Amino acid sequence: MENLGSGGIIVAVVKQFWPVWIALALTFAVSFRFKRRLGLYGKLFDSTIAMIGFALVMFWVFTAIFADMIVTYDVLAQISQMKNKVPGTATPDGAGWYLLGGDHLGRDVFSRMVMGSRVVIIIAPFATVFAFMVGITLGLPAGYYGGRLDAFLSFLANLILAFPVILLFYLLVTREIVETGVPQYMAVVLFLFPIAFLLVLINSRYYVTPVLRNTLVLAVVIVGGYIYLSLVSEDGTKIAVLPNAIDLIHMPGNILIVFVSVVFVNAPTVFRIVRGIVLDIKTRDYVAAGQTRGERPWYIMIWEILPNARGPLIVDFCLRIGYTTILLGTLGFFGLGLTPESPDWGSTINAGRKLITIAQHPAIVPALALMSLVLGLNLLADGLREESLKD
């Protein structure tokens, strides 16, 4: 088979992404059709910038979902004749092409880039959600009560923020520290927050109907508690509470550590944002009205203040996923946490940059992928901000 020219490469790559195009077209068609009934999400489709951002983000989300159908080769398969070959080179067996070339070990750059999106699309949003749960659970009372609690929590947050991120990563993710179980202990603490948040949420809402509240609380404790234990414990490490047989969620140790350190770095910023908004909102009349009615503090915090803070929080959520993506890339770039053969973008950029004078595409392809995802998230956040300011 012949090698492909640049036109041929583009056609082949576009063709390879067919499930993504179909899914994107469907999403946009449905959203356009019902855009007036979809609230803030529908308003996105009034702004070109927001639509571009949304399209970029959804492109990578669908790529991550359909990655198995898109890849042309196994991400770990090495063909030694294909080392550092330029994009569009035909494989020696004549079955196909390395669409975006081969890397220093003769693996397909295109397939690795596609599979790498999975690592980011799974970890980044989840880590951001966790960071938000921690930030909200601590930021609400800090802003609402003020005083000593606020001083103490703000001091802690500033302490973490004063740490240079890379130093923190090096301290948390190196093998010696992992052996002592420090990141796992941090996971034990950090993962408690989502459960605590849900419990407070339910308790403050259904306090007056004890039966319903008790059932819901019980459900959260059992389901959440099981997921919690299953996430935290892993056989053969410092924390192995659950026996292997009923431990359903197996998070490979290093992914857990990456996850924890990313949450740890993001949570203080969220805390500061939430605290700032609460300080502003708690002077409003409807909060005073709630207090006069005799509502309990947590009800006011979660059901009166939080919904009114959603605008800035949603915008920050988008930005923060982008920032988390950058952090994950940084970790990969320094070879921390994830295994070297992992196809995530940071690690592949790191592997590719070492030989960049010989072959550029192994580093450029994941770099552009990462950039387009973060750009999409930032554009989306910008569009959301503009649209939410309009009313």
Partner 1 sequence: MLGFLLRRFGTVLLTALCLTFIVFFLTNLPPNLEKLAKTEAGSRISDEEVASWLDKNGYSSPVLVRYGEWLGVVPGWTREADGVKTGRCIAPGMEPADAPRYCGIFQGDWGFSTFFKSPVSEKLGYHLGLTGILMFWVMVVMVPVSLIIGVLAGMREGSKLDRTLSTVSIASTATPEYVSGVILIAVFASSMFGLKWFKGTATGAMDHITFDNFFLPVITIALYGIGYIARMTRASMTEVMTAQYIRTARLKGVSFKNVVMKHALRNALIAPFTVIMLQFPWLLNGVVIVESLFSYKGFGWTLVQAAGNNDINLLLGCSVVAVVVVLVTQLISDIGYVYLNPRIRIS
Considering the complex, what minimum distance in angstroms separates the CB of residue 223 from partner 1?
34
Question: Is the CB of 306 or the CB of 384 nearer to partner 1?
Answer: 384
Torsion of CA 239, 245, 248, 250, to 10 degrees: 50
Q: Is 217 in the site for partner 1 (CB under 8 A)?
A: no
Q: Is 163 in the site for partner 1 (CB under 8 A)?
A: yes
Considering the complex, what minimum distance in angstroms separates the CB of residue 122 from partner 1?
20
Among the residue ranges 30-38, 223-231, 244-252, 377-385, the one whose residues contact partner 1 (CB under 8 A): 377-385
Q: Is 342 in the site for partner 1 (CB under 8 A)?
A: no
Torsion of CA 200, 204, 205, 211, to 10 degrees: 90
Q: Is 370 in the site for partner 1 (CB under 8 A)?
A: yes
Longest dimension (CA), the chain: 79
Q: Is 363 in the site for partner 1 (CB under 8 A)?
A: yes
Question: Is the CB of 104 or the CB of 213 nearer to partner 1?
Answer: 104
Q: Is 245 in the site for partner 1 (CB under 8 A)?
A: no
d(CA 320, CA 154): 20
Q: Is 364 in the site for partner 1 (CB under 8 A)?
A: yes
Q: Is 269 in the site for partner 1 (CB under 8 A)?
A: no
3-state secondary structure (DSSP) of residue 11: helix
Convert residues 103-142 into a mask of x (bound to partner 1 by CB under 8 A) and - (unbound).
----------------------------------------
Query: What is the distance, to the nearest Å, from the Cα of residue 142 to the centroid of all Cα atoms in its chain?
Result: 26
Q: Is 209 in the site for partner 1 (CB under 8 A)?
A: no
Torsion of CA 121, 124, 126, 129, to 10 degrees: -130
Q: Can you name the residues that pair with 233 across neighbouring β-strands? A: none
**Size, binding site for partner 1 by CB under 8 A:** 45
d(CA 136, CA 199): 13
Question: Is the CB of 278 or the CB of 321 nearer to partner 1?
Answer: 321
Nearest alpha carbon to residue 196 among 170, 173, 171, 225 = 225
Q: Are 336 and 173 in contact (CB under 8 A)?
A: yes
Q: Is 339 in the site for partner 1 (CB under 8 A)?
A: no
The burial of 95, by beta-carbon neighbours within 10 Å (0-12 exposed, 13-18 middle, 19 or more buried), is given as: exposed
Q: Is 360 in the site for partner 1 (CB under 8 A)?
A: yes
Alpha carbon distances (Å) from 18 to 69, 212, 216, 369? 9, 47, 43, 18
Residues 32-91 close enough to bind partner 1 by CB under 8 A: 49
Q: Are 269 and 339 in contact (CB under 8 A)?
A: no
Considering the complex, what minimum distance in angstroms separates the CB of residue 111 from partner 1?
20
Q: Is 326 in the site for partner 1 (CB under 8 A)?
A: yes
- Give the binding site for partner 1 (CB under 8 A): 49, 155, 158-159, 162-167, 170-172, 174, 176-177, 179-180, 182, 322, 326, 329-330, 333-334, 346, 349-350, 352-353, 356-357, 360, 363-364, 367-368, 370-371, 374-375, 377-379, 382
